[in-house]
Amino acid sequence: MNASIEAIGNWDAQIGASLHTALQASVEICGRTGEEACRHAMILMARSASAITAKSSKNRAVENDYSTGKNLPFITVLRQHAQPNRLYKFQFAQSYKQSRAGTAPTGDWNTAKRIKGQGIGKRSWMWGLKRLGATGTSRPIPGTSKLFTIKSDTSAGYVKQNLIEYIRRAMQQGWERSVETSAANKIMKQAANNMEQVWRYAVGAPKSVTPSRKTLAQYFTDRLRFAGAE
């Protein structure tokens, strides 16, 4: 029987766990299959990405156009797969709408300033993950999300692709590493809790007794050393 484990330093602080190490722990300690471990990690990473995605303000910024010699307030509207479009405040005046019937924007200026898709960037990370077992997902906008399954002789896993055009501008620098680390830490925390439960059962420790990390780590080191010698 072969056994392997990789030390990650201070488990209390959850420091230094790579996603590779966490996936290994997810299989060997939490009892998941390789596919289940990848699915679980994907959901955790998507949730982390959602949490750190910047949320737009309630209203679009009002800018000023002085090209004609006078101030013309306008807003810029961004649409998926389309060029940015300027909407001027004067276009919502009743006189303008009457003179440009059929081409003038509908509604009023205050309504046009509101961002209807506020929070879409945050929600978009969970789109398509319902089939992996994720909960709390909303209905995706068509063409903005893809989920790929990778299966080969040497690798397996999932790739989540977010196709919203502005999504990278809504993410902080280094977000890829951040969501990977967050997912790894959560998986390792779960593995540590599972190990503690096994330790309690093996030594008959009541819930009131909290094992030190040193004691817990030594217990599993001895168990794995013994198992490897069998």
Long-range contacts of 37-43 (CB under 8 A, 24+ apart): 38/156, 38/157, 38/158, 39/132, 39/133, 39/158, 40/187, 41/183, 41/184, 41/187, 42/129, 42/132, 42/157, 42/158, 42/160, 43/129, 43/132, 43/133, 43/134
Residues of the chain with pLDDT under 50: 1-16, 227-230
What pLDDT does residue 63 have? 93
- Give the integer Cα–Cα distance in Å for 97 and 133: 49
pLDDT score recorded for residue 208? 60
Q: What is the DSSP string of the chain?
A: --------S-TTTT-S--HHHHHHHHHHTT---HHHHHHHHHHHHHHHHHHHSPPPPSBPPPEEE-TTSS-EEEEEE--TTS--EEEEGGGGSHHHHHHTTTTSPPS-HHHHHB-TTTTHHHHHTTTT-GGGT--S--PPPTTSEEEEEEE-SS-EEEEEEE--TTGGGGS-TTHHHHHHHHHHHHHHHHHHHHHHHHHHHHHT--TT----HHHHHHHHHHHHHHHHH-
Q: What is the pLDDT of residue 172?
A: 86
For the chain, give every domain's residue range.
Answer: 19-56+120-229, 63-113
pLDDT (0 to 100) of residue 51:
92
